[in-house]
Amino acid sequence: MRIWLVAACLLALSGCTAMLLGGGNSDGTQLGRDTRSQAQVATDGAVSAAVRNRFIGDAVLGRYNLRVETVDNIVILHGTVGSYDARDRAVRLARAVDGVQRVDSRIRVVQGT
């Protein structure tokens, strides 16, 4: 009986294995083989760096720890800010960077941060 219980637990947890070993991302997106060309990876890296630099140099956003990802010229913003105005400002600044096709904001607003 004990073996079956252990086997059932392992089977139930097997879905988590991919995420724990790098097959899944914390936000639910699936990681896998990156099919972008090296040129696209370099372009995406440059776009992310430009967006980060704008955030760091900004009087409002410079105090927040925002994470920037870029995939195929689509910028994905992660983090927490203290107001809706700050979130909207982050999206506007990211959109203004050359090469940005679209901005996906996953920024959470927590008042008082």
**Residue 77 maps to a domain:** yes
pTM score, whole prediction: 0.70
Higher pLDDT, 18 or 96: 96
Examine residue 44 and state whether it is found in any structural domain, yes or no.
Answer: yes
Total domains, the chain: 1
Written as six digits, the tokens of 36 are: 């972008």
Q: Give yes or no for residue 30 having a pLDDT over 80.
A: no
Query: Domain containing 78: what range?
Result: 36-109
Residue 24 has pLDDT above 90, yes or no: no
| 20 is a domain residue | no
Has residue 82 been placed in a domain?
yes
pLDDT of residue 91: 98
- CATH number (domain holding residue 50): 3.30.1340.30
pLDDT of residue 15 exceeding 70, the answer is: no
Q: How confident is the model at residue 33 (pLDDT cuts 50, 70, 90)?
A: confident
Q: Burial-class residue 30 by CB neighbours within 10 Å (0-12, 13-18, 19+).
A: exposed
* DSSP three-state, residue 94: helix
DSSP letter (8 states) at residue 30: B
What pLDDT band is residue 17 in, cutting at 50, 70 and 90? very low
In tens, the pLDDT along 50-108 reads: 999 999 999 999 999 999 999 999 999 999 999 999 999 999 999 999 999 999 999 99
